[in-house]
Structure formats: structure tokens, C-alpha cells
A and B are shown apart, each in its own frame.
Chain A
Amino acid sequence: MNLKQAFKIAAKSIAAKKGRSALTMLGVIIGLTAVIILVSFAKGQNKWLEDYYASMVDNSISIYAYKWSMYGSDESVAEDLYSYCQQMSDYLIGVTPMSQVYGNTTIKFGSKTITQDNTDWNSRPQIYLGNQQYTVCQGYTLAKGRDLTYLDVEKLNQVCVLGAKAAATIFDYADPVGQTIYINGTPITVVGLYEDSGLDEYSSKDRVILMPYTLSRLFNGNVDSGQFIAVAKDATSATLAVTMLNGYGKGLVGDNGSFWAENQNQYIDNSNEQSRMQQLFLGGIAAISLLVGGIGIMNIMLVTVTERTREIGIRKAIGAERKSIIAQFLIEACLICGLGGLIGIAIGYLGTAIVCKLVLGFISWPDMTVTVGSFLFSLAMGVIFGLYPAVKASGLQPVEALRAD
């Protein structure tokens, strides 16, 4: 009795019991597919979060001052706060008001018109209003042309700086610097272009159209700069600056919750904790699917113990050694679970590609360790429960095994 013969006998046995072999395989396939898709998705989601927070600037501070007057936010509050920030140069590298152009915007260049209706969310440019420090506060690097200047802000110059993807959407990769676009009918000259930050398409960072915040009067009817972004020199300065700003802001608008300044560093810490929890959660679900798949394999294998015990009795009666029976069952289990495992991995990778692409917008492939680990787990389940009847029945006297029913 050599290995080749055991292999032949096992292959014949599998081929002869197609239904049962397929059912066993199904357990392996479902388990592996579920694990691979879930774990990859968790990994992808994690990457999404990481990228999202990576787009944030270290030691960034968000400041919100909402003291609403009859005509929008109170401009004097905003101005006070703005000048207070500018006095904090010991702590802050820069500060900028941040607002957007509200309502439906139409961007025109030549014969091209971009509106909210004809452009999908992932490529629609986002119009932001800020000052000459917006670039440093949001972590941009200038690629071409010039940045916004103090004069642009003061003189209400109708100029803008474009993010790389916004430029690509409007100009189809032609050089935008010096061109004039029309935003809601207002001519705006492109003076600069930011470098591509390398973030994925779901990030709005590279879709920016930055204009002087003072143009807010033109588009929104007021200088609605209730929100500011500042960037501190380091983490300690950020903490100190937030404390100072909160003290000053509350003196300005009162302690009614309409003013707050916060350190963005805390979100990055939170996000790490959050993604760790999420990974644990999805990992748990994956482990359960693997276990359920394993129980499926176990069921099929154990249900056939009686039938297989008789078969072992017959094989022993016609002269099979114990070791050749065990070899046959071992090879059978390995072939079924191995083949099922490979199919499961294939479907898992395919499913991962589809699910990640649809939900996250990019593909996050599973780790090798997860793939190999869950494959080995399924194989082990198959081998343990496939060998069980063989080890048990092959030790019996043939007559006892033949009597099984």
C-alpha cells in the first residue's frame, strides 16, 4: 500500500460521493469567503479612516463662533476673534476663516458647465473661502502659480487657487493658471494650483476651489466667517492655544455653547481607538462565520460515520491495513477541504473586490495571514472530523465495523 494507491482510492471515493463532497466543500467555501470579505472590508474601512485623518493637519485647531445676528453671524465677533488669533503668533503658525459658497453653485469654463446635478459627488469641486494662510492651515503645497495673498483678501480680488482634482475636472488636465472660470456667473481668475495630496477620490481635499473669504459678500451676501481653522506650532502650543481661545471666545459671546475651540489631535487619537474596536468587531464576526463553516464540515463528516464505518469494515475484510484506511480518509479530507478552501479564497477575493469597490470606492486586499490562517483552520476541521470515523472504525475488529447501523 503506497501513497499513490491511497490517493487513488481517496479520489475514487470523492468522485463516487459527489453530493456529500460538495456539501462538505460548501461549509469550507462559505466560511472562507465570509472571513476574507469581512476582514478585508474591515481593513479597507480602517484605511479609509486613516486616510481621512491623514488629510487633517497635525496640531490643527477648529474654532467655531456662532453668534447669530439678524443677518447671519455677527461679523464683529468674527473680526475680534480673527485679530485675537493673529496676536497669538507665539503659538500659532497660521489662522484662516473658513466658509463655503452656499446653495447650488454653477462653475463654467468655456463650454463646460459643472453643477451639482451633472457631476457626481466624487468629482464635484468644493468651493471654500479663506485667507492667504488657508494653504498652511489645511496642509496644502503649491504646485504652480501663486498662493492667495493679503492683498487678494483686502482688495476682494476675484482669484482662486485650485486643488489638483478640481483642476482636472474643470480643465481636463490643461494648464489652469491664468484662465478665468465663472462661479455663479462671477468671473474668477485661477492664480495657483495645489499639488495632488495623493488621497483617494472620496477625499474632498483635492477638489478644493479656494477664494478670498472676503468674496463671501459676493456669493453669500455677508462675510460669514463663523468658523476658523488655525494650526499650532506643536502639540503643546495647540493645547495652550485652545485653552486661551476658549477663554477669550466665551468672554466675547458668553458661555452658551455658541463658541468652542477644539484640538483636532484628539480626533486622531479617537479614530485609532475607534478603528481598533471596529477591527475587533468585524474580526469577531469573521471568527463566528469560520466556526459556523467548521461546524458545517463537522456535521457532514459525522453524519456519515455509520455509513463510513460499514465501508471501513468491508475494506478491512478484503484486506486493507489500518494505515491505508487512515491514509485514504486523510487524503479525502485534505482534498475536499483543500479544494473547497481554494474555491472559498477565490470567491472571497472576488467578493472583496466587489464589496470594497462598491462601498469604499477602492479595493483593499486581505492579508496573507488571514487567508492562510483561515484556510488552515478549515483544513484542520476537515481533517479532524474526517479522520474521526477512520481512526475509530479502523481499530475495530472487521466484524464489529461491518455490524454498524
Chain B
Amino acid sequence: MLIEVKNLYKIYNEGKENEVRALDGIDLQIDRGEFVAIIGASGSGKSTLMNVLGLLDIPTYGEYHLDGDDVTTLTDKKQAHTRNKQIGFIFQGYNLIPALSAAENVELPLIYQGLPIDEREVRVEEALHKVSMFDRSGHKPSEMSGGQQQRIAIARAIATHPPIIMADEPTGALDSKTGKHVLEILHTLHQETGTTVILITHDNSIAATADRVVRISDGKIIYDGPREGAGL
């Protein structure tokens, strides 16, 4: 099992009047090569789930095994390595570094991985070709449209060849046509390389493109199964 989560809680202001249970006892298992959509309304806890799964945030309680390793007890350094090697992130707001060019943004995780320059160049070129953005290598994020920026973000996520891609509302800031294009890239990636894709969305039509759908409400999983029974 690639991802195995048991009894996961994320509680803000625990024990106080304004206590919020963003994750309220989540059990979830995701296997290698799956394409999973996590769907829920705004505030349902789906982004919190992704942040915890992606080691961007720590759970209040619960067990989390990633590729067999207990990651809740990892040191800061090991967590950084895990994020770098195992997970590629795609955010709603792209999260590119504005001062760096497209190619430099894509290169960054490879630098942190410690790859030599010639290998980095090959990987950057390959990743940019995959999202059809090679001709924009030298452009700064501010010189690109939202769809283009998101494709650069995808290139950055896949440059390290991670086994898992986590995408938090990747089409949320895009018009439906570019959104569809970005989604197609994720599907192609999934089919061609067998990368596990975890897609967080509030949009039924986007969730409907996934094989498996997990629906979250108030921090709890209320449906987990094939898309056909998800009531999309």
C-alpha cells in the first residue's frame, strides 16, 4: 500500500470553544497507480487532508504510513527529502517563485535533490516538453497566463519523477477550456507513467474523470469508491 492513513485528526484550538475539527477520524488507503479524486465542499477538510498527506502539515493525531514508512515521526530533514522525492505538488495558486524563470522554477526541486547540472538540464527540458511549455523556458511567471503558469507548476511537480502527484484544485483558477487541458495532462501522465494522482476538487465534473472518488464532509469520509456510485 502506498498511502495508508488511520484515525487521522487535525484539530485547531483543541478543547476551546472555537475548536475546529478539520479532519475528524480519517481512514484511507491509496494504492500505487490509482487516480483518486477527493471531493468536498469548501471547508470540508479536503485541502487539510492533502496538506497532511503531502507532509506540508502535521496531523494532530493519527497514523500515516507512506510507502511503508511511518512519516509522522520523521525529522524535518527526512520530511523535506520525502516531499522532494515522493511527491509532486500542484497548487490552485501555482506557487511559482516570481523572480525565477519557468525553467529555473522547474529546476529548483532538482537542485535540492542534488542532481548534477547536465542531468538537471535533461530533466527540465523533458518536463517542459511534457506540458508543451518548452518554448517558454525563459519567461517569468508574470509574463505567462494562468494556464501556462499551471503547466509550469505541473512540469516542476513531475521533473523529479515522483511516484505521487498531489493536485489541490489545479483548475480552480482557470477557465474551463484551460482547466480541461491541465486535467488532460494529469490523465496522460497517469496513463503513461503510472504515477499515482490525488486530485482535490469541489467540482463534480472534474471528480468524475477519476477512477475512484473519496467524498469528504466535515472532516469525515462519507463516500469512498468507484466514481459510478459517487452520485456525481
Contacts and interface: CB of A to CB of B under 8 A. Distances in A.
A217 interface: no
B80 A320 contact: yes
Nearest to A311: B97
B89 interface: yes
A322 B80 contact: yes
B219 interface: no
A317 B89 contact: yes
Interface stretch (B23-31, B38-46, B104-112, B124-132): B104-112
Interface stretch (A2-10, A50-58, A365-373): A2-10
B57 A399 contact: yes
Contacts of A314: 95-97
B89 A12 contact: no
A360 to B, nearest CB: 46
Nearest to B51: A399
B56 interface: yes
A18 to B, nearest CB: 9
Interface in A312-332: 313-324
B202 interface: no
B73 interface: no
A334 interface: no
Contacts of B122: none
B7 interface: no
Contacts of B96: 314
A2 B112 CA distance: 9
Contacts of B51: 399
B32 interface: no
Nearest to B115: A5
B56 A322 contact: no
A327 to B, nearest CB: 12
Given A1-B114, A317-B95, A319-B112, A397 B56 contact: yes
B177 interface: no
Contacts of A399: 51, 56-57
Contact of B76 (A9, A313, A321): A321
Contacts of A353: none
A397 B100 contact: no
Nearest to B160: A319
- Majority SS of interface residues in chain A? helix
Q: Which of B58, B81, B112, B114 has the most CB of A within 10 A?
A: B112
Contacts of B77: 321-323
A328 to B, nearest CB: 10
Interface hub of A311, A318, A320, A402 (most chain B Cβ within 10 A) = A318
Contacts of B80: 316, 319-322
Nearest to A14: B99
Contacts of B95: 310, 313-314, 317, 402
Interface string A377-394: 000000000000000000
Contacts of A313: 95
B83 A319 contact: yes
A16 interface: yes
A397 B84 contact: no
Contacts of B89: 317-318
A12 B100 contact: yes
Given A5-B111, A12-B100, A318 B84 contact: yes
B78 to A, nearest CB: 9
Contacts of B99: 13, 16-17
Nearest to B57: A399
Given A5-B114, A12-B100, A318 B156 contact: yes
Nearest to A16: B99
A88 to B, nearest CB: 83
Nearest to A401: B56
A397 B57 contact: yes
Nearest to B114: A1
A338 interface: no
Nearest to A8: B111
A94 interface: no
A321 B75 CA distance: 10
Contact of B112 (A17, A311, A320): A320
Contacts of B113: 319
B85 interface: yes
Interface string A240-267: 0000000000000000000000000000
Interface in B34-76: 51, 54-58, 76
A46 to B, nearest CB: 48
A398 interface: yes
B56 A318 contact: no
A402 B94 CA distance: 11
Interface string A344-364: 000000000000000000000
Contacts of B83: 316-319, 398
Contact of B81 (A9, A12, A319): A319
A13 B111 CA distance: 14
A6 to B, nearest CB: 9
Nearest to B95: A314
A343 to B, nearest CB: 22
The 8 lowest CB-CB distance pairs between A and B, nearest first, are: A319-B84, A16-B99, A318-B109, A398-B56, A399-B56, A399-B57, A321-B80, A399-B51
18 contacts: A1-B112, A5-B112, A16-B104, A314-B97, A315-B112, A317-B56, A317-B95, A318-B84, A318-B108, A319-B80, A319-B85, A319-B113, A319-B160, A320-B80, A321-B76, A397-B58, A398-B55, A400-B57
Given A314-B96, A319-B83, A323-B77, 6 more contacts: A16-B104, A316-B83, A317-B89, A318-B156, A320-B112, A397-B57
Interface of B: 51, 54-58, 76-77, 80-81, 83-85, 89, 91, 95-97, 99-100, 104, 108-109, 111-114, 156, 160
